[in-house]
Amino acid sequence: MKVEFASDRKREEIHSFGVSLATGQFVERFQERLVNLRMTPRLPPNIHLAKNGLTLGKALAAIEGSLEKKLRGYDYEWAKEASQRLEEELAQVAHYYEPLIAGAEEESKAAIAEQYERRKEEIRWQYEPRVTASVINCGIFHLEGIG
Rounded Cα distance, 94 and 100, in Å: 10
Backbone dihedral angles phi then psi of residue 97, each to the nearest 5 degrees = -80, -40
Every domain of the chain and the residues it spans: 1-75+130-147, 77-128
CB atoms within 10 A of CB 10: 8
Instruction: Answer for the pair 145, 20: CB distance below 8 angstroms, yes or no.
Output: yes
Alpha-carbon Rg for the chain, nearest whole angstrom, is 25
- Give 6's strand partners: 10, 130
pTM above 0.75, yes or no: yes
Per-residue pLDDT of the chain (147 residues; tens, 9 = 90+): 999 999 999 999 999 999 988 888 889 999 998 888 888 888 777 777 777 788 889 999 999 999 999 999 999 999 999 999 999 999 999 999 999 999 989 889 999 999 999 999 999 999 999 999 999 998 888 776 554
